[in-house]
Structures are given as structure tokens and as C-alpha cells.
Amino acid sequence: MRFTRITVNPNQMGGVPCIRGLRIPVATVVAMVADGMSEAEILQAYPDLEPEDIQEALRYAAEAVRERELPLAVS
């Protein structure tokens, strides 16, 4: 899968994946969605973002989780 809106720059934000070279980490966008914020609320909080940025951040997070196992409680 190719991500055109996600950038990683070792000299910016400690090298964490960000949106289009902005100082907005993918993790921040994903956390806002997880916290129940609507797309409109996220775009209002970060006017430099575009709706496509949010969708790609979610796809990136899904792919990142798919690539490794996370510790989960066994039920």
C-alpha cells in the first residue's frame, strides 16, 4: 500500500509519521478519531488538514497494526 500523505522526516517531530510534512502526527489524528471527534471537529481543530488526510491516517494506522502483534489481554 502506498501512502502519499504520510511523511517521515528525522529532523521533524522526532521522525514520527506526520501528515504531509506538517507538524501533525498521524497518531494525533488517529487519537482524535478514537476519542469520538467528527471529521468536521478535527478539521476545525487543525485547519491545515484535509478530509483525505484523516482517511489516510486511519489506513496508515490499520496497516501499522497489521504489521505487528500488540500485547492483548486474554479473555
Give the integer Cα–Cα distance in Å for 49 and 34: 17
Mean pLDDT value across residues 34-49: 98
Q: Does domain 6-66 have CATH number 3.40.50.300?
A: no
Q: Report which DSSP code applies to 14.
A: G
pTM of the complete model: 0.86
50 pLDDT exceeds 90? Answer: yes
Domain ranges of the chain: 6-66
